[in-house]
Chain A
Amino acid sequence: MQTTIIKPKKIFRWNDLREIWQYKELLYFFTWRDLKVRYKQTAIGAAWAIFQPFMTMIVFTVFFGTLAKMPSDGVPYPIFVYTGLLFWQFFSVALSSTSSCLIANQSIITKVYFPRLILPISSVLTQLVDFAVAAAVLVVLMFYYGYSPNILGILLIPLLLLIAFMAAVGGGLFLAAINVKYRDVRYVLPYFIQMLMFITPVIYPASIAGKYSWILAVNPMTGVIQNARAALLGTAPINWLLIGISFVATFVLLGIGIIVFKKTERYFADII
């Protein structure tokens, strides 16, 4: 028979990770719910996942590519910016939905116990589906512009996605905890996330920063987007050092996120 001991909470126990595994069905149901609800609520459903990055690509291509003549490492600007947008949209939407996941689910948090970490993870998982849909457009674009990635490039994509996933979870956990405590933070977040896009090489190549481009490398999304372009479009050889830096930065972010989240978790239900 299962024995539960309820005591004043410590900040982190390894058991917490095992518990998430025990509750994997609930994780599945939360993700399933978010997808179902979203696709029921928007009339065009899954098409929205394509429409959004596609329209952004067109606008960026017209203004940054054609009018501002932004360099694009020698590949056509539309496909250059779309590759960046694909990963950026995944990261930014995941980050913002994770940061509000506790408040959005407060009625459940105050009534039922489950490992709270499930909520942010499920928020990011939901975005993976949009990523997959939007990635189909990239395949079409690559076909249209005549790019074919090599095997290594295709194998690298899941790894890059994993970095983006962990970075979104880490940052999201931190923001979610702050959001519960300080309710005015959520009004600043969209602005903050928008700012982040400009310090990530989405619309421009990292090479334009010249000798200062190493500063950009601290941002894990720089490594993800730069290498996604390298792997799929062959803009440059794959930069393993950059991937390594991104990994380290992501782990630091994830660590901070988990600690802050677990620390606040103890009194979520009391203040939410």
Chain B
Amino acid sequence: MENNPIITIKNVGKRYNINHHRGGYVALRDVIMTILRSPFKFLKTKAKQIAGIDTKEEFWALKDINLEVKKGEVIGIIGPNGSGKSTLLKILSQITPPTTGEIIIQGKVGSLLEVGTGFHPELSGRENIFLNGAILGMGRKEIAEKFDRIVEFAGVDKFIDTPVKYYSSGMYVRLAFSVAAHMEPDILIIDEVLAVGDAEFQKKCLGKMDEVTKQDGRTILFVSHNMGAIEQLCTKTVLLEKGEIIKFGNTKEVIRHYTKSSNFLNSVLEYNETTDKDAKIRKISLLGKDDIPSAKIPFDSDFSVEVEYEIFRKIERAMLALGCYSQGELLFYSSDADKAGQLSSYAPGRYKSQIQIPLKLLNAGFYYLEININCPGVEFIDRKQNIPFEIYHSDNPLSAMYNNQIPGKIIIPLEYKNKKIS
């Protein structure tokens, strides 16, 4: 039994209709109008679609995926945006069926594609624990047994009978994650959910996950952009690209392969989704020397981050902030309010900010940026995380002196007052 795969994925593919994939539902009115205006054209396209000739609107999000996972393995899934990571998790969680192929799973699956699924703002923390627990597949008895531990882990015992709409976003996430952390499935499927919440809580959750896998031999599939977390948790890793498995195997090797590939580093990122929030980050560009977009920067060259964002409604007491992470740890954090020491308000409009990173600050290696607009202590209005960039040694005397291996992560030119005293 031990050696049999707990998950077997055979030739799985998923085809989307492009208009489905865009979340485009149709209005009945439009359909009726199309039929009335040109009935023959409509019949022709319909017939073509049924006969399978018309494939223009098709798009394969996943193609021919084959994978075997053994009990107790922790598998990381990485790849650029749109590579099919989330689609794979959705098929494994049975949210959407595959178009081709078959998956055989031995055991109970718990999926965590979001924390706090089904949380209702009007209900109290206590009520939401029961509701969310049931949605995650726990029975009433099981939740009642674990209730005290869930509350303790989240640290919200004082507010347990308060409706969650009065919770701060931190408390909300802690409670939601705490429920999820107490699921006991054989197989746990996790999407990028650790991205929410503060750094300390993230650490606590990673710790909890690590502990659980080692103790109970649980199998975990874990999607993340955070290479640090993947490296820390996963024994094996899958690299997906354009819906296909490019590489599967030892985590370190797969990550090395990925970080070297051209798809990993993007110097310009654009976000065109719609939002109902008050502001939205539209574009993040990493700029090297002479403001040329680049995500591979020599350590002694000019480096700046340009952020374009849109404010839809006036926001008070907010900041635009930047965080720089290395292996899952925050190295530094800064915001446009730091200099004045007070928060400002933003009027509606489109803005551009260029944030200069000092020369010779970061040592060679991979780093991840976070850009966000937030009202401190209240909420993140928009937040983009895990934007990778690489700093490398260029041809210069300092690097040469250290043989291209300067110790530490930060390079800091300290003043040395040398005096001969005897």
A residues with CB within 8 A of B: 1-9, 25-26, 28-29, 32-33, 36-37, 40-41, 105, 107-114, 178, 180-185, 266-267, 269-272
Contacts and interface: CB of A to CB of B under 8 A. Distances in A.
Contacts of B95: 109-113, 269
B120 A1 contact: no
Closest 5 CB pairs of A and B: A182-B28, A113-B94, A29-B134, A6-B103, A9-B97
A265 B123 CA distance: 29
Contacts of B109: 4
Interface in B84-139: 90-109, 111, 113-114, 117-118, 120, 122-123, 127, 130-131, 134-136, 139
B120 A37 contact: yes
A113 B90 CA distance: 9
Contact of A112 (B16, B24, B135): B135
A47 to B, nearest CB: 19
Nearest to A108: B118
A46 to B, nearest CB: 16
Contacts of B23: 271-272
A28 to B, nearest CB: 8
Given A8-B97, A8-B100, A181-B26, A3 B106 contact: yes
Contacts of A109: 95
Contacts of B127: 33, 36
B314 interface: no
A271 B27 CA distance: 13
B257 interface: no
A183 B318 CA distance: 36
B236 to A, nearest CB: 21
A41 B134 contact: no
A3 B109 CA distance: 10
A124 B157 CA distance: 35
Contacts of B29: 184
A205 B300 CA distance: 90
B416 interface: no
B273 to A, nearest CB: 15
B140 interface: yes
Contact of B25 (A1, A5, A25, A180): A180
10 contacts: A1-B186, A4-B109, A6-B92, A7-B97, A7-B103, A28-B134, A28-B140, A108-B118, A111-B111, A111-B117
Contact of A26 (B26, B111, B135): B135
Given A6-B94, A111-B113, A113-B111, A184 B28 contact: yes
B25 A113 contact: no
A26 B134 contact: yes
B20 interface: yes
Nearest to B23: A271
A271 B135 CA distance: 21
Contacts of B92: 6
Given A4-B104, A266-B97, 10 more contacts: A5-B105, A7-B98, A25-B134, A26-B135, A37-B123, A40-B122, A107-B114, A111-B117, A112-B95, A112-B117
Given A181-B25, A181-B26, A113 B93 contact: yes
B31 interface: yes
Contacts of A6: 91-92, 94, 97-98, 102-105
B93 A271 contact: no
A180 B105 CA distance: 30
A37 to B, nearest CB: 5
B91 to A, nearest CB: 7
B10 to A, nearest CB: 10
A97 to B, nearest CB: 16
Contacts of A2: 106-108
Contacts of A272: 23, 25
Contact of A108 (B25, B28, B117): B117
Contacts of A41: 122
Contacts of A105: 118
B21 interface: yes
A5 B130 contact: no
Given A2-B107, A8-B97, A182 B131 contact: no
Contact of B104 (A5, A107, A108): A5
Nearest to B19: A271
A182 B92 CA distance: 28
Given A182-B26, A184-B27, A29 B130 contact: yes
A267 B91 CA distance: 12
Contact of B90 (A4, A181, A184, A269): A269
Of B91, B96, B108, B130, most A-chain CB atoms within 10 Å: B96
